[in-house]
A and B are shown apart, each in its own frame.
Chain A
Amino acid sequence: MSSSLIGLLQSCQSQARLDWEPQFLSTDQARLVSALVDTILPSTDTPGALDVNVDVFLDLVYHKMYDEEGQQQVAAEMEAFDRDCKNKFGKAFADLDAEQKVAVLKEAEANSPKSGRGVWGMAVEKTEPVGFYRSLKSMAVWAYCSSEEIGKNVLNYDPIPGPYQGCVPLSEVGKVYSL
């Protein structure tokens, strides 16, 4: 099978599927999250977000790490995001075609403030709230890169580096470190 055909099959599967039981998200919300992370981190010659269950993990994050207020807020933000898609294209985000999805995310990208830089685990740069899209995108990147498949097999996994070497050619490392 050619790689483009595999890609097509995978993308068809991802369009259709909700082959997991969300713990927090409604079916509509889960479809939105799956479609968003799939668009942000699609499957290519490396695995995509859905291949490593980023959507399943984000559901768990909303379920277990968010307090009630946070859960209500994110639910409202998801509803608003889909409402905008329906107003513009007559469909929820998950049901848009690829071009429409890209158009929606381009706008979201342009309109989402960035998070401030941090020192030792805390922001030191004051910025506007990043909003639903960038918050989800940041969490999707975290969920993706901290997954076992990406962390061990795709990024540069170096669990016991040995004595620190301060200056090595990037070409020797090749990729971004996972840890």
Chain B
Amino acid sequence: MSNYNYNYNIDAKKNMTYDAIVIGSGMSGGWAAKELCEAGLKTLVLERGRIVQHLKDYPNIDKESWDWELRGGITPAEKKKHYKAIRTNWIGEGNKDLYANDEENPYTEIKPFMWLRAHQMGGRSQLWGRQTYRWSDLDFEANAKEGIAIDWPIRYKDIEPWYSYVEKYIGISGQALGLPQLPDSHFLPPMELNCVEKDVKARIEKNFPGRNMTIGRVAHLTVPHNGRGQCQSRNKCGMGCPFSAFFSSTSVTLPAANATGNMTIRPWSIAQSIIYDEHKGKATGVKVIDAESGEMVEYYAKIIFCNASTLSSTRILLNSTSNRFPNGMGNDSGELGHNLMDHTYRVGAMGVFEGHEDKYYKGRRPNGIYIPRYWNISEETKSDKFLRGFGYQGGAYRSGWGRGGNMDDFGADFKKSLLNDPGPWHFFITGFAECLPYHENQVTLDTNSLDKWGQPTLAIDCEWKENELALNKQIQEDAVEMLEKSGLKDIIGFDNKHEPGFGIHEMGTARMGKDPKTSVLNAHNQVHGCENVFVTDGACMTSNSCVNPSLTYMALTARAANHAISELKKQNL
């Protein structure tokens, strides 16, 4: 096991000028920091919350349920503090400190929208689901082929080398399938399917030619890799991994950046806006609010990477007004803040599998199954009801003691059965559907509602429309049909009608495009009209595929950072 005892330089006040500034230390910011630092650029990373050092700052890493006062439960006071994110039902005694304080960081829901934020070093890379999928040209070409919104300025061939680059470094486990709509990554060995999943897979693939079921592709090591250990199936990833087996920026990219000696990280630093110099015609630095003192300070650099997370990056650009950019940096098109997307969430089916009662599994696999998209991938699979498609995640499990409350009995026999019988096998699948980019799904600055630091907050106005609702309908119908034909019993279809945001795959609002008149960023994630500012988190997305986006953010970031390095060398920035 490598030594993760890092010495982060947190005294950034000494030096106000750097080669590069990276706003945000999460999924994409960590990659920007690593690439820029490794190229020799003195880089300041701004983090709005506290420092989280790998291993050292995971206080709950070894705790079990009985070590918690409330065994993982949460008090009404904590619920109030997290009154937005509590709707996900994911916040508990052990991980509550990884979720932002919603009272200090309000936002307005013009229509219901669940915006989940993680305000500390590592950001949501500590909390993500770790599902890792490549996009294909089916995704990059969709807008152009269908005449939706605008075309992407890049294609699969542009990002493919960067997918490889990122995957080889972070380690992705999965099964190669050779599907054109879901290109294979460089895989470490796949995690195992359990016996029920193997049976259901065989039945689905027999009854539904063209549909595949595979183990989830995840950023978990199944063999030791780059000095990190393999997954030990504790499934406590959110508490931090003692084996560094899953990818997070705190465990992988930030330590790599730090090892160069070129990184300075400044915690408690809220990027308020990017400074634009009218004479130079480019950005010169970042205005930062010290989260603890409220003091405003300025840092300067040749290039700036904005990786604050989709909506926070757009908020910074909207705040960055100047004579050149009166409506926000890069907003000549009027598209800044628009075209917000997410994936639909928790629509599918579940049922009981009869058989394999004498089988169990060993370990708590932090992963499930995946059914890649099969609609609208060819002439034969074209739907007349919707554009694009969806993929399913899911899995089979035995219910264990968690079913106790619903068992019919009580007393000595009940207790014996609770302790010794793992209960029936359940199997479920739940879809993630692509959402189209609609101009009217947008965020705006709300100057009437200020946060704890006196800054305008965001008002979010976003809803599913006809196409997303049609996709959800198909998700449920197909899920029920697949489970029925696979012989499951006691099947229910479900649709929890979650509003956008629940997928926590918010994308868009500063989209890439070929034309500054219709987009905010160019093909290398540079802000149109201010090319030394790069936005490489989810804000840059021009459409949103149906697969989980983090891998694409990382690949786009590595690509943009290396473009920035090369342009700096050519003195073009």
Contacts and interface: CB of A to CB of B under 8 A. Distances in A.
Asked if A pairs with B, the answer is yes
Interface of A: 39-42, 44, 46, 48, 57, 60-61, 64-67, 102, 105, 109, 114-115, 117, 119-122, 124-125, 130, 134-135, 137-139, 141-143, 145-148, 150-152, 154-155, 158-179
A44 B412 contact: yes
A64 B416 CA distance: 30
A50 B70 CA distance: 18
B54 to A, nearest CB: 19
B405 A138 contact: yes
Contacts of A164: 191-192, 231, 233, 361-365
Nearest to B79: A67
A115 B360 contact: no
Contacts of B195: 166-167
B314 interface: no
B76 interface: yes
Contacts of B89: 121-122
A46 B414 CA distance: 12
B70 A44 contact: no
B422 A170 contact: yes
Interface residues of B, number: 64
Nearest to A105: B410
Contacts of A120: 346, 430
B53 interface: no
A171 B359 CA distance: 8
Contacts of A124: 346, 348, 350, 492, 494, 496
Contacts of A138: 404-406
23 contacts: A42-B415, A46-B415, A60-B70, A64-B73, A114-B406, A121-B88, A135-B405, A138-B406, A142-B405, A146-B71, A151-B65, A155-B419, A158-B362, A163-B222, A164-B233, A166-B192, A166-B195, A167-B361, A168-B360, A169-B360, A170-B360, A173-B422, A176-B400
B233 A161 contact: yes
A1 B128 CA distance: 55
A115 B411 contact: no
B410 to A, nearest CB: 4
Given A138-B405, A166-B193, A168-B360, 18 more contacts: A44-B412, A46-B416, A60-B69, A65-B76, A120-B346, A120-B430, A121-B88, A125-B494, A139-B405, A141-B401, A141-B418, A155-B401, A155-B419, A159-B64, A162-B363, A166-B195, A170-B360, A175-B420
Contacts of B76: 65-67
Contacts of A40: 410-411, 414
B89 to A, nearest CB: 5
Q: Which has the most chain B C-beta neighbours within 10 Å: A41, A135, A152, A173? A: A41
Interface string B183-200: 000000001111101100
The 6 closest A-B pairs by CB, nearest first: A138-B405, A141-B404, A161-B363, A124-B494, A166-B192, A166-B194
Nearest to B93: A65
A137 B404 contact: yes
B362 A165 contact: yes
Interface string B466-495: 000000000000000000000000001010
Given A119-B428, A146-B65, A162-B363, A176 B415 contact: no
Nearest to A127: B406
B348 A119 contact: yes
Contacts of B208: none
A154 B420 CA distance: 10
